[in-house]
Chains A and B, each alone.
Chain A
Amino acid sequence: MSVIETKDLRKQYGSVEALKGVTLQVEPGQIYGLLGHNGAGKSTMVKILLGIVKKTDGDAYLLGSEVGTTDIRKKVGYLPEDHQFPGYHTGVSLLHFYGELYGMSRPDRIKRMDEALDIVGLKKRAKSKIKTYSKGMKQRLGIAQAFFHDPEVIFLDEPTDGVDPAGRREIRELLQTLKGEGRTIFVNTHLLAEVEMMADRVAFIHQGELVRQGTVAEITRRANRFEIGLEKGTPFPVQEVRDAGFKVEMAEGKAEVELADGQSIDPVLEMLWANGLKLRHLVEQKLTLEDVFMKLVEGSNPGGKKGVRVARPVAARRID
Chain B
Amino acid sequence: MLRNFIAVMKDSFREARNGWILQTLLILIVLFLLVVFSTSVRPLSFAEQVEHELGIWKILFQFEPTTGRPQVAIENANPKNEGEPWTGGGEFDLSVTFATYKDYESARAFFLPGRSVGRFIRLPVDAKRTEEFLSLNGALKGVSVTDVTPEVDKPKKPAKDEEQKEGGKSSDGAKPVKLRFHVTTAGSGYADKLDWPHELTVFFVVNTGFQRPARSMAYYCQNYVVNGLGGWVFCLVGTIVTAGFIPNLLRKGALDLVIAKPIGRVGLLVYKYVGGLIFFLILVTTAVLGMLLAVGVRTGVWSATFLSVIPLLTLQFAILYSVSTLFGVLTRNALVAIMATLLSWGLFFLIGLVADSVYSRERVVAEVAKQTAEGKTVWLDEDGNPIPQDKVMERLDPNAPLFGFIPYSTAPVWKIVHFVSPRTVQLDTWSGKVIAQGVLSERGMKERGWDLNLPATLGEVIAVNLGFITLMLGLASWRFATRDP
Chain A interface (Cβ within 8 Å of chain B)? Answer: 13, 47, 50-54, 70-74, 76, 78, 80, 82-89, 93, 97-98, 100-103, 145
- Closest chain-A Cβ to B266's Cβ sits at a distance in Å of 11
* Separation of A283 and B485 alpha carbons in the complex (Å): 50
| Inter-subunit contact A88/B18 (CB<8 Å) | yes
Size bracket, chain B contacts: 20 to 34
Which A residues are CB-close (under 8 A) to B258? Answer: 101
* Separation of A276 and B6 alpha carbons in the complex (Å): 81
| Inter-subunit contact B262/A80 (CB<8 Å) | no
- Closest chain-A Cβ to B238's Cβ sits at a distance in Å of 17
Of all chain A residues, which has the CB nearest B19? Answer: A88
What are 27 inter-chain pairs, A to B, with CB distance below 8 A?
A50-B260, A51-B260, A53-B484, A53-B485, A70-B262, A70-B263, A70-B264, A71-B262, A74-B262, A78-B256, A80-B257, A83-B253, A83-B256, A84-B251, A84-B252, A85-B254, A85-B257, A86-B11, A86-B14, A88-B14, A88-B15, A88-B19, A89-B11, A100-B3, A101-B7, A101-B261, A145-B257
| Residue with the greatest number of chain B CB neighbours at <10 A, chosen from A83, A100, A101 | A101
Of all chain B residues, which has the CB nearest A142? Answer: B257
- Closest chain-B Cβ to A132's Cβ sits at a distance in Å of 13
* Separation of A11 and B197 alpha carbons in the complex (Å): 76
| Inter-subunit contact A52/B252 (CB<8 Å) | no
* Separation of A83 and B257 alpha carbons in the complex (Å): 7
Chain B interface (Cβ within 8 Å of chain A)? Answer: 3-4, 6-7, 10-11, 14-15, 18-19, 248, 251-264, 484-485
* Separation of A101 and B271 alpha carbons in the complex (Å): 12
* Separation of A102 and B260 alpha carbons in the complex (Å): 10
| Inter-subunit contact A93/B14 (CB<8 Å) | yes
* Separation of A52 and B19 alpha carbons in the complex (Å): 30
- Closest chain-A Cβ to B258's Cβ sits at a distance in Å of 8
Which B residues are CB-close (under 8 A) to A73? Answer: 260-262
| Inter-subunit contact A97/B10 (CB<8 Å) | yes
| Inter-subunit contact B262/A82 (CB<8 Å) | no
| Inter-subunit contact B260/A84 (CB<8 Å) | no
Chain A contact residues, majority secondary structure: loop
Of all chain B residues, which has the CB nearest A90? Answer: B14
| Inter-subunit contact A100/B7 (CB<8 Å) | yes
With A88-B19, A102-B261 known, 11 other A-B pairs at CB within 8 A are A13-B484, A47-B256, A52-B260, A74-B262, A80-B256, A80-B257, A89-B11, A97-B10, A101-B261, A102-B262, A145-B257
* Separation of A226 and B15 alpha carbons in the complex (Å): 62
* Separation of A86 and B11 alpha carbons in the complex (Å): 10
- Closest chain-A Cβ to B62's Cβ sits at a distance in Å of 61
* Separation of A170 and B251 alpha carbons in the complex (Å): 30
* Separation of A47 and B252 alpha carbons in the complex (Å): 13
Which A residues are CB-close (under 8 A) to B261? Answer: 73, 98, 101-102
- Closest chain-A Cβ to B200's Cβ sits at a distance in Å of 43
| Residue with the greatest number of chain A CB neighbours at <10 A, chosen from B19, B253, B261, B485 | B261
- Closest chain-B Cβ to A74's Cβ sits at a distance in Å of 5
* Separation of A92 and B238 alpha carbons in the complex (Å): 28
Which A residues are CB-close (under 8 A) to B259? Answer: 51-52
Known A-B contacts A52-B485, A53-B485; A103 and B262 likewise in contact (beta carbons under 8 Å)? yes
| Inter-subunit contact B256/A101 (CB<8 Å) | no
* Separation of A85 and B251 alpha carbons in the complex (Å): 10
- Closest chain-B Cβ to A60's Cβ sits at a distance in Å of 15
* Separation of A86 and B247 alpha carbons in the complex (Å): 12
**Contact with A86, one of B3, B6, B254, B264 (Cβ below 8 angstroms):** B254
* Separation of A145 and B258 alpha carbons in the complex (Å): 11
* Separation of A145 and B264 alpha carbons in the complex (Å): 19
**Contact with A101, one of B251, B253, B262, B484 (Cβ below 8 angstroms):** B262
Of all chain B residues, which has the CB nearest A43? Answer: B256
Known A-B contacts A13-B484, A80-B253, A82-B252; A89 and B14 likewise in contact (beta carbons under 8 Å)? yes
- Closest chain-A Cβ to B261's Cβ sits at a distance in Å of 4
| Inter-subunit contact B254/A78 (CB<8 Å) | no
Of all chain A residues, which has the CB nearest B484? Answer: A53
* Separation of A83 and B254 alpha carbons in the complex (Å): 6
- Closest chain-A Cβ to B18's Cβ sits at a distance in Å of 4
- Closest chain-A Cβ to B379's Cβ sits at a distance in Å of 65
| Inter-subunit contact A103/B260 (CB<8 Å) | no
Which A residues are CB-close (under 8 A) to B11? Answer: 86, 89, 97
- Closest chain-A Cβ to B265's Cβ sits at a distance in Å of 9
* Separation of A76 and B264 alpha carbons in the complex (Å): 15
Which A residues are CB-close (under 8 A) to B6? Answer: 100
- Closest chain-A Cβ to B131's Cβ sits at a distance in Å of 70
- Closest chain-B Cβ to A187's Cβ sits at a distance in Å of 16
* Separation of A78 and B261 alpha carbons in the complex (Å): 9
Of all chain A residues, which has the CB nearest B10? Answer: A97
| Inter-subunit contact B3/A76 (CB<8 Å) | no
Which B residues are CB-close (under 8 A) to A87? Answer: 18
* Separation of A78 and B263 alpha carbons in the complex (Å): 14
Of all chain A residues, which has the CB nearest B261? Answer: A101
| Inter-subunit contact B253/A84 (CB<8 Å) | yes
Of all chain B residues, which has the CB nearest A74? Answer: B262
* Separation of A100 and B14 alpha carbons in the complex (Å): 15
| Inter-subunit contact B18/A54 (CB<8 Å) | no
